[in-house]
C-alpha cells in the first residue's frame, strides 16, 4: 500500500485564480484613473482591457531611453539604405513579389497600404442607424480596435521596426481622443501579421479620406463617423507620409490577433471562476456530497488544475446546510449512493482546462511584448534580419486551448442544468422546476432546449481553426496562423458560455428555492406525522409509537420525492397511501386496543386523511411564504449565497411562480410586480455577467480564498463579511 503524504490545505495554491485576481484587480485600479505606461516590455492583459473597454489613457513611459531606442532604429535603417543595401519591403516588393526592386521608398509604403486596404464594410458599419439587419456588421468592435492600437504601439516601442516615435505618438493621441478607424472584420489570415486590419489603422495616419473613423466625442457619449482626414484635423495633427519601412512596420505584426485573444482570455478568467461557483451552487441544489471535492481525492492525483478547482469549490460551498459531507453522509443508504458524473467529476473535468489557460496566458503575455516584424533591425550588430516573427501560431494555439477550456466548462454547465431540470435525476424537485401545476406549467423546459442549442454551438466553435489553413499570396504563405480568425471565434465562444452561465444561474436559483421549500416542508410534515400518530394512536405504547413514527416519516419522505412529477393534490394522496402499509404492520402487531377507534382500519383511515390534508395545507402555505419571503439563502454556502443574493436582491430576478408569471395570463394572484418572459429574466442576468457585475462580486469573494492574513477585511455583497479560513477542509 502506498504511503500518501498529503500537502497541507494551506499549502495548496490556486495559480489560475491568483493570476485572474491580479488581472481583475489591476483593471479596476486602471479604470479608477490610472495610466497604462508603454515601454515595449511590460504590457499585460489587464492593461489591454483597461484601454480597450474602459478608456484608460495609454502613454509612453517617461523613460527617455525608449524614444531614443525607437529613433535609433529609424536612423540606422536610413544609414543602411544609404549604403545601397537591399531591404525587404523597403526596396523590394512584398511577399511573392519580393523579386521586384524600387528606390521610391515613400511610394512603396503607400502601395502596401493600397494592396492591403481590401476589406469589406457595409452601410451599417458606417451608419448603424441604417443597418442592414440581414447582414449585420462587418467591422471590428471599437474595443477590439482600441486594443489592437495599444498592442501595436507597444510592439513598435521596442525599436526593431524602423517606425518613427512621432507615429506612435500620433496613434496614442488619436486613441486618447476616442478616435479609432472602422476596421473590416474579415480578411486577415495572420500570416505576415494582421495586414488588412492594421492597414486601416495605418490609413488614419495618412489622412485617407476613404478610411472612416469612429469618434467617441465623450466617454460613454455620442459617437459619430468621420473621415480619417477630418479626424486628423480635429486632433490638430498633420497627415503623415510614411517613410522607409514605416508602412510595413505598422502592418507586419499580429497585433489584432494578440489584442482580441487577450480580451477573450480575460473574459474567460471571469467565466472560469463563475462556472466553478455555479457547479458548487448546483451541487447544493441537488443535495450533493461535498466529498466530491475533498482534498484527499485531489491530492492523490495531484494535477494542479484538479487540485485548484476542488479547493475553490470547497470554498464556495463552505457553510452549506444542503450538502452531505464525509461526516454526515448516510453510509447505508439505498438508491443512488454517489453523485452522478457531472458533479462528482467537476474538478477532474475542468481542471486540465485551467492548466491550459495558464499556458495560454503566458503565451499571450509574451506576444504582447514581442517584436513581430519582418525584417527586424538590430542596431547593436548593425544588421537587418529577415525572419518570420509575424507568424502568430502562438496566438492560435493559445486561443484554441482557450476555446477548448470554454467548451469543457459549457459541457459541465449543460450536464448539470439538465440534471437539475429533469425529475428523473434531480432528487425530488418538480418536473422542469415548475413551482405550480406541473401538468400546466413547464417553466424550465425551454431553457433546457436553449442550453442544448448553446452547447452545440460552443462545441462547434471548439474545433481547431489551425487545421484549415489555405496557401495564400502566390503560394508564398503556405503556412499561416489564422490567429485573428481563431481569436474571433474565441470571443464568440465567450459569448455563448456567458449565455449558458446566465441560463444556468437562473435555473440554479429556481432549483435552490424549490429545494429549500421541499426541505422545510418535509421537516414540517415530519412533525405533523408525529403529532397525528400520537393523537390518533393515543394508546400505543411509546416504543412501538416511536418506531411507527420513524417508519412513517421515512415512507412519507420517499413518497414525496418519488411523486415529484405530480400535482400537489395527487402527491398528497400518494404520501397518504404510502403510510398505510407500515401503519398496518405496527397496528397488526399491537391490535385495535391501542387506539380509541373500534379497529385498525379506521385508525389508519383517519391518519391518512389527516396526513393528506396536512400535506396540502402545509405545502400551499409554505410555498406562498417562499414566494414572498424566501428563506433560501440561510441554507446556502458562501458562493451560492453571494450569487443567489445578487440575482434575487440586486437584479431583482424573482422566484418563478409558474404560469401566472406569463405576461398575458389573466390571474387574480395578487402579483404586485412586473411580469416578464423567462428569457427577459435570463437576459438581465446575462447583462450582469457581461458587464462584470456578477463576476466582480464573485472575484471579491475569491480574493478571500487567497488571503493569508485574516486581519485584511474583505466584504461580500451587501457588506457581509466573508471569512477567510483557508485551513477549512470539507
The dihedrals phi and psi of 134, each to the nearest 5 degrees, come to -75, -25
Please state the separation of Cα 523 from the chain's center in Å: 37
Residue linked to cell 456578477: 694
Q: Compute, in degrees rounded to 10, the torsion defined by CA atoms 284, 289, 293, 299.
A: 170
Which residue, 168, 235, 165, 245, is CA-closest to 201? 168
Distance of CA 658 to the CA centre of its chain: 29
580 close to 612: Cβ distance less than 8 angstroms: no
How does DSSP classify residue 207? T
Set of cell numbers at residue 567? 400535482
The one catalytic residue in 80, 85, 88, 170 is: 88
Phi, psi of 36 (to 5 degrees): -95, 115
Structural contact between residues 217 and 142, judged by C-beta atoms closer than 8 angstroms: no
The DSSP bridge pattern shows strands 376-378 and 58-60 to be unpaired
For residue 164, what is the enclosing H or E element? none
Residue 727's contacts (CB-CB under 8 Å, 6 or more residues apart) are 9, 10
CA distances from 256 to 193, 263, 649 (A): 8, 11, 40
Give me the phi and psi of 142, to 5 degrees please.
-55, -40
Query: Closest Cα to residue 384, out of 21, 108, 700, 73?
Result: 73
88 is an active site residue: yes
Determine contact, residues 198/251, Cβ cutoff 8 Å: yes
DSSP summary character for residue 649: I
Pick the closest to residue 562 from 415, 658, 426 (CA basis). 426
Phi and psi (nearest 5°) for 486?
-65, -40
Beta strands in 563-617 (DSSP E): none
Dist CA 179 CA 233 (whole Å): 12
Which active-site residues does the annotation give? 88
Amino acid at each position: 500500500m502506498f504511503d500518501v503524504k498529503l500537502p497541507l490545505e494551506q499549502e495548496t495554491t490556486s495559480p489560475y485564480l491568483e493570476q485572474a485576481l491580479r488581472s481583475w484587480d489591476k483593471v479596476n485600479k486602471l479604470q479608477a484613473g490610472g495610466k497604462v505606461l508603454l515601454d515595449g516590455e511590460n504590457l499585460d492583459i489587464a492593461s489591454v482591457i483597461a484601454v480597450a473597454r474602459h478608456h484608460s489613457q495609454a502613454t509612453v513611459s517617461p523613460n527617455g531611453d525608449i524614444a531614443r531606442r525607437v529613433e535609433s532604429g529609424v536612423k540606422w535603417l536610413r544609414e543602411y539604405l544609404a549604403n545601397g543595401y537591399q531591404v525587404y519591403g523597403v526596396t523590394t516588393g512584398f511577399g511573392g513579389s519580393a523579386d521586384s526592386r524600387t528606390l521610391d521608398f515613400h511610394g512603396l509604403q503607400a502601395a502596401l497600404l493600397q494592396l492591403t486596404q481590401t476589406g469589406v464594410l457595409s452601410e451599417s458599419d458606417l451608419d448603424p442607424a441604417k443597418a442592414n439587419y440581414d447582414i449585420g456588421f462587418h467591422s471590428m468592435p471599437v474595443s477590439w480596435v482600441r486594443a489592437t492600437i495599444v498592442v501595436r504601439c507597444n510592439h513598435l516601442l521596442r525599436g526593431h521596426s524602423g517606425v518613427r516615435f512621432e507615429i506612435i505618438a500620433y496613434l496614442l493621441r488619436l486613441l486618447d481622443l476616442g478616435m479609432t478607424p472602422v476596421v473590416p472584420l474579415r480578411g486577415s489570415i495572420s500570416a505576415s501579421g494582421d495586414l488588412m486590419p492594421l492597414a486601416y489603422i495605418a490609413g488614419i495616419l495618412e489622412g485617407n479620406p476613404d478610411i472612416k473613423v469612429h469618434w467617441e466625442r465623450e466617454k460613454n457619449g455620442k459617437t459619430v463617423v468621420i473621415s480619417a482626414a477630418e479626424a486628423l484635423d480635429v486632433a490638430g495633427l498633420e497627415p503623415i507620409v510614411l517613410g522607409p519601412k514605416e508602412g510595413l512596420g505598422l502592418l507586419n505584426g499580429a497585433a489584432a490577433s494578440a489584442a482580441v485573444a487577450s480580451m477573450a482570455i480575460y473574459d474567460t478568467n471571469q467565466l472560469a471562476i463563475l462556472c466553478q461557483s455555479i457547479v458548487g451552487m448546483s451541487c447544493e441544489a441537488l443535495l450533493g456530497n461535498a466529498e466530491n471535492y475533498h482534498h484527499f481525492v485531489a491530492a492523490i492525483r495531484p494535477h494542479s488544475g484538479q487540485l485548484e478547482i476542488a479547493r475553490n469549490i470547497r470554498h464556495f460551498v463552505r457553510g452549506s446546510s444542503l450538502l452531505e459531507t464525509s461526516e454526515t453522509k448516510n453510509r447505508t443508504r439505498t438508491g443512488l449512493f454517489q453523485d452522478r458524473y457531472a458533479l462528482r467529476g467537476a474538478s477532474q473535468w475542468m481542471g486540465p482546462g485551467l492548466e491550459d489557460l495558464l499556458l495560454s496566458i503566458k503565451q499571450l503575455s509574451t506576444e504582447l511584448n514581442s517584436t513581430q516584424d519582418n525584417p527586424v533591425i538590430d542596431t547593436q550588430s548593425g544588421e537587418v534580419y529577415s525572419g518570420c516573427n509575424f507568424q502568430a501560431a502562438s496566438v492560435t494555439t493559445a486561443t484554441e486551448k482557450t476555446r477548448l477550456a470554454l467548451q469543457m466548462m459549457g459541457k459541465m454547465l449543460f450536464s448539470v442544468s439538465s440534471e437539475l431540470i429533469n425529475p428523473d435525476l434531480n432528487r425530488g424537485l418538480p418536473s422542469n422546476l415548475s413551482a405550480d401545476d406541473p401538468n400546466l406549467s413547464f417553466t424550465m423546459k425551454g431553457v433546457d432546449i436553449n442550453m442544448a442549442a448553446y452547447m452545440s454551438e460552443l462545441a462547434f466553435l471548439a474545433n481547431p481553426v489551425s487545421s484549415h489553413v489555405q496557401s495564400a499570396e502566390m503560394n508564398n504563405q503556405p503556412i499561416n496562423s489564422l490567429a485573428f480568425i481563431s481569436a474571433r471565434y474565441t470571443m464568440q465562444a465567450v459569448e455563448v458560455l456567458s449565455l449558458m452561465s446566465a441560463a444556468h444561474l437562473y435555473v440554479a436559483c429556481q432549483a435552490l428555492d424549490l429545494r429549500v421549500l421541499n426541505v422545510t416542508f418535509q421537516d414540517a410534515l415530519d412533525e405533523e406525522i408525529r403529532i397525528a400518530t400520537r393523537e390518533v394512536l393515543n394508546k400505543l405504547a411509546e416504543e412501538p409509537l416511536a418506531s411507527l413514527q420513524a417508519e412513517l416519516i421515512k415512507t412519507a419522505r420517499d413518497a414525496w420525492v418519488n411523486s415529484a412529477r405530480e400535482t400537489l393534490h395527487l402527491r398528497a394522496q400518494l404520501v397518504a397511501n404510502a403510510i398505510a402499509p407500515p401503519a398496518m404492520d405496527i397496528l397488526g402487531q399491537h391490535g385495535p386496543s391501542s387506539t380509541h377507534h373500534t379497529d385498525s382500519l379506521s385508525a389508519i383511515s383517519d391518519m391518512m386523511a389527516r396526513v393528506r390534508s396536512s400535506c396540502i395545507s402545509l405545502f400551499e402555505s409554505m410555498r406562498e411564504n417562499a414566494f414572498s419571503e424566501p428563506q433560501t439563502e440561510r441554507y446556502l454556502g458562501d458562493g451560492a449565497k453571494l450569487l443567489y443574493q445578487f440575482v434575487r436582491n440586486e437584479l431583482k430576478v424573482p422566484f418563478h411562480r409558474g404560469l401566472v408569471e406569463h405576461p398575458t395570463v389573466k390571474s387574480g394572484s395578487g402579483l404586485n410586480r412586473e411580469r416578464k418572459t423567462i428569457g427577459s429574466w435570463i437576459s438581465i442576468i446575462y447583462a450582469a455577467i457581461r458587464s462584470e457585475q456578477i463576476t466582480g462580486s464573485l472575484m471579491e469573494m475569491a480574493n478571500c480564498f487567497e488571503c493569508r492574513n485574516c486581519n485584511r477585511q474583505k466584504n461580500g455583497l451587501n457588506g457581509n463579511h466573508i471569512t477567510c479560513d483557508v485551513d477549512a477542509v470539507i
